[in-house]
Structure 1
Amino acid sequence: MVFFSGLALCAAFASATALQIPLLSSSHHAPLGHPNGTKSMVNSTELQDLVSGDRLMARAKKMYEIAKLGEEEYNHPTRVIGSAGHLGTLSYIYETILQLGDYYTVSNQSFPAVSGNVFESRLVIGDGVPKSTRTMGLTPPTKDNEPVHGDVVLVANEGCQGSDYPDSVAGNIAFIKRGVCPFGTKSEHAGRMGAVAAVVYNYEKDPVSGTLGTPSPDHVATFGLSGEEAGPVLKKLEKGKRVDAIAYMDAEVNQILTVNIIAQTSDGDADNCVMLGAHSDSVTEGPGINDDGSGTMSLLEVATQLTKFNVSNCVRFAWWAGEEEGLLGSDYYVASLSDEENQKIRLFMDYDMMASPNFAYQIYNATNALNPNGSEQLRDLYIKWYEDQGLNYAFIPFDGRSDYDGFIRNGIPGGGIATGAEGIKTQKEFEMFGGRAGEQYDPCYHMLCDDVGNVDLTAWVVNTKLIAHSVATYAQSFKGFPKRDLKVAPESNAYTNTAKYHGPKLFM
């Protein structure tokens, strides 16, 4: 694929400081339609019938080729923000929408972000190398990008207060229990007390991964460790025995600019918008064809086919950047909305991971009791569609793990569907959906093997049809859907007090 320098991403809409994104090609196709004219009003069945598995797979293959643009810098395909693979993804999205003519108004929103890259890491505890070791997102390197040595020093409680860290942690490696405060806070306290590295261990047997969030000069190289492998270390430390360790992290953390892409129908009531989104970036470790290439491409497919219809209400598609770094793009977008613009968004639908190979048809269990009014009606739309197709479905927690979080926290009703990430499929779910009980929904979640072979086309087509149904339903009418309540302050939502996550990785 060829980059053409000097072609700015949506230059007509960009500010002078916007990130300049080259397009992948200079070709432009005839527009598929215009919102005015002889086209019929959008119809759910007709829009669903236009969804094509062949086109989705063709997009997946192209997305993987784009991810290969990251190989020179990262030594493997990736679409992490700041990489050539992500720049290529943005170009592909923008060019695809451009080819649809004036059906959409396209804009880009540049925003500052933090990009982290771990080139190499290693953790040795005692005489063993733990298999469950994870590196925290946005972790700094060990000193001079060289190995550091020290004793493992147990931190009191959950390491949320500076007083939890004994003086003996200076020059050594802090061993901290996962708990109720952000991982970044734990790393910061460890650094202030002079630790040369930190290990956050799980109180459950599973591995623990996350991100340190906003960089701090006090952060130290930080690893995650499963509760299972932490257990023997804890026993030795609690008995007063000495455990030594070696930590090595070759990493960098940089400030960059990246871009959200927004495409809104030129027709339709602009004061009543149905909005939907997917994230355009992957993690550093892999190409992200399922997470969230699948959602990105589903939105592109639906946006393309929607041009064959008229709409009554505006439809606004969004491709967020920086989701894997902590919902950066969607947070920035929602925070930039005026109260008036906020109220124009009647609901937000999140489509993250539509094609997991060991899938379950999952619906976020969004209720009006805990979320802005209308979230439950969206949930029920998904339920009815699956039931009408004779398909089983399962509820999953609406707990802040994806880009809906900023919308819900700011009073906008929302919801979405998914097919599963690192969770384990139960025997009951095997009976409901097939696949393999006792294995992850996506065995390649956040890994290099999240490539073209890591998508289930059946699930992908089914969920893309459901996305089309959700768009067609609300693009045609909001009849029966609750109006936005101007009197309800966003901070009054019970959701803000119950969400456990902010993004795809735990912050706590």
Structure 2
Amino acid sequence: MAKAVEVADVMDHLEAFQDIADSHDGNRGAGTSGYDASGAYVEDTLRAAGYDTQRQWFDFTYFEVVSSSLTVGGSPIDENVMSYSPSTPVGGVTGPLAAPAVATGCAAGDWAGFPAGSVALISRGACAFGVKAANAKTAGAVAAVVYNNEEGELHGTLGGPGDYAPATGITQADGKALLARLGETTTFEAQTVLEERSTFNVLAETDKGRDDNVVMMGAHLDSVNDGPGINDNGTGSAALLETAVQLAKANKLNNKLRFAWWGAEEHGLLGSEHYVADLKENDPAALEDIATYLNFDMVGSPNHIIGVYDADQSTYEADVDVPEGSAETEDVLTDWFDSQDQAWVDTPFSGRSDYAAFIDAGIPSSGLFTGADDVKTEEQEDLFGGTAGIILDPNYHTPEDDISNLNVDALDVMSDAIAASAILLAQDTSDINNKRSRGKSGKPGPDVVVMEHVAHHLR
């Protein structure tokens, strides 16, 4: 499988996604024609490989930033409007720059004495961005500017529509500099679109394998509205698609593989949440039949790491409940890398991508990630090359996230790992959930025996 899933074929899918974005306003965002065309491409490719496909529709709140700007004392400041921010009036809102008494602004008391009519300068941390923006409006702020508490740009979300001050994010460096400029005249303008739309997940599964022990693999198909989203997450979508194409050629699978291309991840993990919620309500037995879920979100970052979600918490303590079997799912990926003498590192198991709904439902999970807006360390530079001191994907959530800004070597490594984990888990999940596919004699089938032999040499 690893040899069958060739990076050149994965790149062909990415070229198709780039062409789609180029023909549809430069993006493939959920609820847009670019997303619809991306879904149709995935479906057509799967059907040509022999799969039946399903569109799972759901409604969501569509958000788009049409234009925005921030100036302090007449000087422009780079900013990123937070998802679900309300629009300002045309021409923006203007007031003196002021900070709450407590920098994070998470409690009503933090805003004692805040001058109404000001633009609030707030530190990231301690509570959700939506809480900060709501508290700012209650305190009389005309806008909320949140500065990062670590290096890198701040791309935040308010979590959904609400009663907020118009809100945007800036870097830690700009925030610290502005703390010395409190009182200066500040203008913030944001023209946004906030409306209800429909979108869909694309689902397909193998016709071979037991359907009471299903392995799921997923990647979000949508981009942000500000760019084509070729790394985020065309890469995961394309590698998963080519894995499905090649797996369809397998003569025998012990366990069914179900593939998902999620919609509206960039609007709050909505597609995967809808899928799990629908199973909980309408087919809870099918939810219990999912042995494990693997997520692939950004696997070609230009300044990459080879990252595996740290389900066993050997490096990062998870801030979510980790279902039993997740560590063993992680082992499938890390054992593969070890067998290939490929360096890898843990990446936090934080619930920030589409595996969140699965672990909330108690389903073991792990996955792969080459990095977004975290800054590369010197240790990571030693392992993977690239440049320490800059973020892992400098084009993250920008129009420059295009076909010219991928690390194809990283994509190749990750595509092989996706392919290998697919065939390994299609044959045996017993280490994860103690379920073993058996032949008619009651003994393990020949494929299981072979894979046990392979697994022995991978450990």
- Classify the TM-score, shorter chain: 0.7 to 0.9
What is the alpha-carbon distance in structure 2 between the residues aligned to residue 68 and residue 422 of structure 1?
25
Return structure 1 stretches of 4+ with deviation > 4 angstroms: 166-169
1:488 matched to which residue of 2? none
Match of 2:301 among 342, 356, 374: 356
1:55 matched to which residue of 2? 9
CA shift in 2, pair 1:205/1:361, >3 Å: closer
Letter in 2 for 1:188: A
Q: Superposition pairs for residues 78-89 of structure 1, below 5 Å?
A: 78-89=27-38
Find out whether 1:182 has 2:124 as its counterpart.
no
What is the alpha-carbon distance in structure 1 between the residues aligned to residue 433 and residue 177 of structure 2?
54
1:396 Cα deviation from its structure 2 partner = 1.1
What is the alpha-carbon distance in structure 1 between the residues aligned to residue 305 and residue 328 of structure 2?
21
2:39 matched to which residue of 1? 90
1:232 Cα deviation from its structure 2 partner = 3.3
What is the alpha-carbon distance in structure 2 between the residues aligned to residue 423 and residue 204 of structure 1?
9
1:394 matched to which residue of 2? 345
1:243 Cα deviation from its structure 2 partner = 2.2
Letter in 2 for 1:346: A
Percent identity (aligned): 37
1:429 matched to which residue of 2? 380
Find out whether 1:261 has 2:202 as its counterpart.
yes
Match of 1:165 among 99, 106, 111: 111
1:200 Cα deviation from its structure 2 partner = 1.2
Q: Is the 8 A contact 1:355 1:456 kept in 2?
A: yes
1:185 Cα deviation from its structure 2 partner = 1.9
> Gaps (5+ residues) in structure 1?
1-46, 72-76, 485-508
Find out whether 1:406 has 2:357 as its counterpart.
yes
Q: Is the 8 A contact 1:141 1:220 kept in 2?
A: no
What is the alpha-carbon distance in structure 2 between the residues aligned to residue 205 and residue 262 of structure 1?
38
Q: Is the 8 A contact 2:100 2:114 kept in 1?
A: no
2:58 matched to which residue of 1? 111
CA shift in 2, pair 1:439/1:473, >3 Å: same
1:449 matched to which residue of 2? 400
CA shift in 2, pair 1:212/1:453, >3 Å: same
> Gaps (5+ residues) in structure 2?
436-459
Counterpart of 1:48 in 2: which secondary structure? Answer: coil
- Bigger drift between 52-61 and 273-282 goes to 52-61
CA shift in 2, pair 1:479/1:227, >3 Å: closer
CA offsets 1:274-297 (integer angstroms, 9 cap, x no match):
000000001111101111000101
Q: Is the 8 A contact 2:152 2:391 kept in 1?
A: no
Counterpart of 1:349 in 2: which secondary structure? Answer: strand
CA shift in 2, pair 1:204/1:294, >3 Å: closer
Q: Superposition pairs for residues 3-402 of structure 1, below 5 Å?
A: 47-71=1-25, 77-101=26-50, 104-131=51-78, 133-143=79-89, 145-157=90-102, 158-166=104-112, 168-216=114-162, 218-237=163-182, 242-309=183-250, 310-338=252-280, 339-367=284-312, 371-402=322-353
1:202 Cα deviation from its structure 2 partner = 2.5
CA offsets 1:126-184 (integer angstroms, 9 cap, x no match):
242223x22111212102x3222111221232222334334654332122222222111
Counterpart of 1:452 in 2: which secondary structure? Answer: coil
What is the alpha-carbon distance in structure 1 between the residues aligned to residue 10 and residue 228 of structure 2?
16
- Give aligned pairs, total: 424
What is the alpha-carbon distance in structure 1 between the residues aligned to residue 177 and residue 367 of structure 2?
41
2:423 matched to which residue of 1? 472
Q: Is the 8 A contact 1:105 1:266 kept in 2?
A: no
What is the alpha-carbon distance in structure 2 between the residues aligned to residue 318 and residue 58 of structure 1?
20
Q: Is the 8 A contact 1:69 1:84 kept in 2?
A: no
What is the alpha-carbon distance in structure 1 between the residues aligned to residue 136 and residue 387 of structure 2?
41
RMSD across aligned positions (CA): 1.9
What is the alpha-carbon distance in structure 2 between the residues aligned to residue 163 and residue 333 of structure 1?
40
1:205 Cα deviation from its structure 2 partner = 4.8
Q: Is the 8 A contact 1:146 1:250 kept in 2?
A: no
Letter in 1 for 2:236: G
What is the alpha-carbon distance in structure 1 between the residues aligned to residue 113 and residue 201 of structure 2?
45
Counterpart of 1:155 in 2: which secondary structure? Answer: coil
Q: Is the 8 A contact 2:153 2:373 kept in 1?
A: no
Q: TM-score, normalised by structure 1?
A: 0.80
1:427 Cα deviation from its structure 2 partner = 2.1
What is the alpha-carbon distance in structure 1 between the residues aligned to residue 336 and residue 30 of structure 2?
35
What is the alpha-carbon distance in structure 1 between the residues aligned to residue 419 and residue 403 of structure 2?
23
Counterpart of 1:480 in 2: which secondary structure? Answer: helix
Counterpart of 1:290 in 2: which secondary structure? Answer: helix
Counterpart of 1:481 in 2: which secondary structure? Answer: helix
Q: TM-score, normalised by structure 2?
A: 0.88
